[in-house]
Amino acid sequence: MKRTGLIFLLGAIFTPFNATAETTTVCTLISDTKTGKTIVEEGECKTRATAASTFKIAISLMGFDSGILTDAHHPVWSFKEGYPDWRTAWREDTDPQYWIEQSVVWYSQQINIRLGEARFRNYVTSFDYGNADVSGDTGKQNGLTRSWLSSSLQISPAEQVEFISKMIRGELPIGKQAREMAMGLFDMGVQANGWHVLGKTGAGLSQNADGSPIKGQPWGWFVGWATRGEQTITFARLTHDSTRPAKSPGFAARDTFLAEYFATDSAF
């Protein structure tokens, strides 16, 4: 897809439009990472949606394991004309930490391009990541640059929690050092109730049966893990808006989830 088309598709998610949009929490899922025991399960947690920017967790693992990424600040790649740039912050030189902090789409794309189709597909398949469909838009052959962006790659909250739990337990086919460096990029700090939270937001458009995007009605993701003392939990929240919201649905999912579970003492 041309840059302008991608801007239209994803920019629609973030542009303020209707402050009264109805937001539905599709699923909230929290599990004990070590035992796999479910702590909280509310809603339809097997519903699949576009992976959107939560897929950066998987991309970071691929990047470090393959040696394309070397540490939090290397490599530094420069923005080029033609890259997705609907956010001003994306027009800057970018390293891995900045990539995650600003959710820079073109940096993800450049990692995948350097991996190549075969390695990219093999990683996603070995991760057992959602439907593992990295073909991209139908007939466009753009899986390396588009598959996770309201396209072919879909994942459910239950699958998100399983993927992240396997990562933390060292059960993915990734070297320990690569795994640790990747996980460090998602640090959100210690919260008010003492839980140290790491995670990633995501937002993407809903799709029709033929894969075409539905304007408005976006999904919102917040997925990750948290530690306190000897306990580690893994979580996923998925939301859906009836019309285009005033606030990024990923940010909204994150903020409400943190307020509900990490602002005061929790039961887990």
Q: What are the pLDDT digits (tens) for 60-69?
A: 999 999 999 9
CATH numbers and ranges of domains, the chain: 23-263 (3.40.710.10)
- Residue of 31, 53, 147, 152 marked active site: 53
Mean pLDDT over residues 130-154, rounded? 96
Share of the chain above pLDDT 90, in %: 82
DSSP per residue over the chain, as a string? Answer: --HHHHHHHHHHHHS---TT--EEEEEEEEEETTT--EEEEEE-TT--EE-GGGGHHHHHHHHHHHTS--BTTB--B---TTS--SSGGGGS-B-HHHHHHHT-HHHHHHHHHHH-HHHHHHHHHHTT-TT-----STTT--HHHHTTSSSS-EE-HHHHHHHHHHHHHT-SSS-HHHHHHHHHTTEEEE-TTS-EEEEEEEEEEEE-TTSPEEEEEEEEEEEEEEEETTEEEEEEEEEEESS--SS-HHHHHHHHHHHHHTSS----
* Residue 53 annotated among the catalytic residues of the structure: yes
- Average pLDDT of span 119-139: 97
Q: What is the pLDDT of residue 20?
A: 54
* Average pLDDT of span 202-213: 84
Residue 182 pLDDT > 90, yes or no?
A: yes
